[in-house]
Amino acid sequence: MHRLLTLVAKLPLSFLQFFGAFVGELVFWLAPGYRRRTRANLCAAGYTHKSIFARVGRNAGRQAMESIWVWYRPTETVLEHVRVDEKAEKLIGDAMRSGRPIVFMTPHVGCFEVLPVWLAGTLYKETGRRITILYRPPRKKILRAVVGDARQAPGIEAVPTTLIGVKRIIRSLREGNTFGALPDQVPSKGEGVWASFFGRPAYTMTLPVKVAHQFDAIRIFAWGVREGDSWKVEAEEWTDPLTGDIHEDALAMNRMIEHIIRRMPDQYAWSYNRYKRPKGAPPPEEGAHR
């Protein structure tokens, strides 16, 4: 599998995006369950015009192929396709140079895989501060090593969503490094709370807000906007005070995620089953928080 993906990544990025868009739209129209969930999630957020449905399907396919390209290409090659918004460059640069703990949060928008690569390829060399990122190991054994190993690079430490991974994040922050999370990823039971997301109860991970509160960390939302065969890094600091009430803080985090998604709704992963109930988690009616 590793060899196959390495060969795939040697193809031009523009071709992979074109192929991904074709497959993404095809899957959208041929997979009824996938299509229903995507449409339901879009409509719940107020996006009901049919023109966005196909665009979302195409972008989902692009994102999948882009991830392979980003994982298996040299950092220098990836950075040739990245430009940084001036405001984001200053915000992230100042935070990295401050020495303070930082929690980066990147929703499933655009090409979220490019953020750690850009950070490691630029500011890690200057500051020596790496980023530790969480990833959910795939169920299929053949993919576990691929997904985990592909994300490892100088300046990037990928750890699984397990107790061992969480301990590694805490240790890394104490060592002066940073933490990056996908805050709209559905956590396992006991690792989240129910909080409104586009008006519907969503089981929401609490680790980013817990860690940020514990370390009094700088909180930065950062993402990569797709622009043809390149990406623009944008960022916004989340400055609202954390209350320490995990339900209130998780709800506030979801509000920030919604704010970012509405800036580029056709680049969000609407097909993701954001509203599922993890096995063993309490039902929403017992813990939903609006």
- Per-residue model confidence (pLDDT) at position 80: 96
The total number of structural domains in the chain stands at 1
- Per-residue model confidence (pLDDT) at position 234: 97
Q: What are phi and psi of 156, to 5 degrees?
A: -125, 125
- 290 in a domain, yes or no? no
With helix as H, strand as E and coil as C, how does the chain read?
CHHHHHHHHCCCHHHHHHHHHHHHHHHHHHCHHHHHHHHHHHHHCCCCCHHHHHHHHHHHHHHHHHHHHHHHCCHHHHHCCEEECHHHHHHHHHHHHHCCCEEEECCCEECCCHHHHHHHHHHHHHHCCCEEEEECCCCCHHHHHHHHHHHCECCEEEEECCHHHHHHHHHHHHCCCEEEECCCCCCCCCCEEEEEECCEEEEEECHHHHHHHHHCCEEEEEEEEEECCEEEEEEEECCCCCCCCHHHHHHHHHHHHHHHHCCCHHHECCCCCCCCCCCCCCCHHHHCCC
> How far is it, in rounded angstroms, from Cα 58 to Cα 48?
17
- 105 in a domain, yes or no? yes
* Beta-bridge partners for 104: 180, 220
Q: Looking at the predicted structure, is the pLDDT value of residue 150 above 90?
A: no
- Per-residue model confidence (pLDDT) at position 141: 63
Which pLDDT band holds residue 268 (cuts at 50, 70, 90)? very high
- Please answer whether residues 104 and 222 qualify as being in contact, where contact means their C-beta atoms are separated by less than 8 angstroms: yes
Closest CA to 122 of 89, 147, 171: 89
pLDDT mean over 205-225: 96
- Per-residue model confidence (pLDDT) at position 151: 75
pLDDT mean over 152-167: 88
- Reported as a single tens digit per residue, the pLDDT across 52-95 is 998 999 999 999 999 999 999 999 999 999 999 999 999 999 99
- For residue 142 the two structure tokens come to 């053949």
Q: Looking at the predicted structure, is the pLDDT value of residue 282 above 80?
A: yes
Closest CA to 205 of 231, 224, 187, 188: 187
- For residue 215 the two structure tokens come to 């370390």
β-pairing, 131-135 with 178-181?
parallel
| Residue 281 structural domain | 2-285
- 61 in a domain, yes or no? yes
pLDDT mean over 251-260: 97
Question: What are the residues whose beta carbons fall under 8 Å from the beta carbon of 134, sequence distance 6 or more?
Answer: 158, 159, 160, 161, 165, 169, 180, 181, 182, 185, 207
